Every structure is written in C-alpha cells, then in structure tokens.
Amino acid sequence: MTAMRQDTDASRALQGLEDDRSSVRLRAALAIGSAPDPGFVDKLVRQCGMEPDFFVRDMLTWALTRHPVSTTLPRLVRELRSERAQARSQALHTLSKIGDPRAWPALTRALLSDADPEVARAAWRTAVVLVPEDEKSALAVVLATQLGRGNRETRLSLSRALVALGEVIVPALHGPATAADPQVRVHALATRRLLHDPESGFEYALEEAKRVVALGGYVQG
C-alpha cells in the first residue's frame, strides 16, 4: 500500500508540473525535490527549459540538486546543446548550483559568447564556479573578448565574473583597455578598477573609466 501511495504521489507531482497555475507547479517541484527519484530528472530538466515563472524555475533547480549528480549531470550537459535559449541558461544555472567540476569541459567558448545575453551571463557565472585553477588565465582571455558587450546588467555580470577570477585577469585586460572601441576600453578599465578597489562599486568604476577614455588616457595597472 505504501509503495502504491508513493507511486500515486509521484504521478500527481509530475502531472502538477504541467498545471496552468504557477502555484501548483511550485508545489509539485517542491514535492519532487523532497522525495527525489532518478525517474524525475528528465521531466525536471525539460520543464526548466520551458517554465515561464522565475520562482518555479528556481524550485526546479533545487529539486534537481537533490538528485544524484551521476543522473543529473549528463542530462544537464546535453541540455547545453538545446536550441532553446532558456533551456541552455537554466541548465547552466543548475550546473553552477551543483558545482561538480566534471561539467567544466562542457563550458565551451560558444556558450561563453552565446548570442543570447541570458545564456552568456549564466555561462560566465557557471564558468567561474567550475574552472580549474590552472585554466583561470585561459578563461580570463575568453571572457575578455566579451568586454563592451550589451547593457549595464550584462556588463556588470561580466565584470563580476572576471573579478572573481582574481589577479590572473590583469594580462587579459591589457588589450581591451587600449582597444579602438571606447565601450570596450571603458568596460576593461572599470573591471580593473573593481579588481583593485571592489568597494568603489560598478557605477563609480564606470564613470572613472569614462573620464579616462574621454581624456584619451590609459591607466597602467
């Protein structure tokens, strides 16, 4: 009877993920995470790729982290090749929460420079979590190619990712800091300012960098 009840509960939870009401989907994800079963993983990953509600997506990610990494990791890595931007970004987000370094090889240059800003931002955050110590410099070089990209939030995300890598980013910032594109120069200089003075804040670092670029200067660092 207990096994039958468990099967019924599992079936109800999986059906709940397809409900039109976000509150029902949220409870379903919570129930699945509270009673993890490898058979739920495919459904959880698929739902992440299409779930419209932020809080439900967050609960889905939590539910996935409750399952064995041996089951979730291969499925999430496959999802990184999805044509759906949300599927890629949410898979990256979940991999960052799991934090297993075996996912590092899946963080390709294509993902780190993905045309979709949400995917790129998720890739940057995940990369700094998973990168091996001896590959931080190479990662910094790739991330530096994205300087000057996008809106304020995108640039802030990139600067935070670079700063999280530490002093290894300094050589990678030299070229962008003297680039022909003033947006790239400003972003590179602001990022270096944040590295050396994290308390200054991103807005202040940007304004200082803009003044330097406007005056045609370049601050060695």
Report the alpha-carbon distance of residue 9 to residue 217 in Å, rounded: 66
- Using pLDDT thresholds of 50, 70 and 90, give the confidence band for residue 206: confident
How many residues are given for the chain?
221
- How far apart CA 3 and CA 140 sit, in angstroms, is 51
Q: Where are the domains of the chain?
A: 1-130, 137-221
CB 186 within 8 A of CB 157: no
- Answer whether residue 171 shows pLDDT above 60: yes
- Residue 7: pLDDT over 60: no
Distance, in Å, from the CA atom of 184 to the CA atom of 172, rounded to the nearest integer, reads 13
User: Residue 4 above 70 pLDDT?
Assistant: no
pLDDT of residue 78: 97
The answer on pLDDT for 30 being more than 50 is yes
DSSP reduced 3-state for 49: coil
Residue 221 has pLDDT above 70, yes or no: no
- Residue 6: pLDDT over 70: no
| Number of Cβ atoms within 10 Å of the Cβ of 42 | 11
Fold (CATH) for 1-130: Leucine-rich Repeat Variant (1.25.10)
- The residue that leads in pLDDT, 106 or 204, is 106
* Terminal C-alpha separation, the chain: 69
pLDDT at 220: 47
pLDDT of residue 5: 47
Whole-model pTM: value is 0.88
Separation CA 75–CA 198 (nearest Å): 37
Q: Is the pLDDT of residue 105 over 80?
A: yes
Mean pLDDT over all residues of the chain? Answer: 92
% of the chain surpassing 70 pLDDT: 93
Instruction: Judge whether residue 175 has pLDDT over 70.
Output: yes
Whether the CB-CB separation of 180 and 198 falls below 8 Å is answered with no
Q: What is the DSSP letter of 116?
A: S
The amino acid that residue 18 corresponds to is E
Reported as a single tens digit per residue, the pLDDT across 44-97 is 999 999 999 999 999 999 999 999 999 999 999 999 999 999 999 999 999 999
Mean pLDDT of 167-193: 95
* Residue 135 per-residue DSSP state: G
Residue 66's φ and ψ, nearest 5 degrees, are -85, -10
The number of angstroms, rounded, from the C-alpha of 130 to the middle of its chain's C-alpha atoms is: 11
* 127-157 pLDDT, tens digit each: 999 999 999 999 999 999 999 999 999 999 9
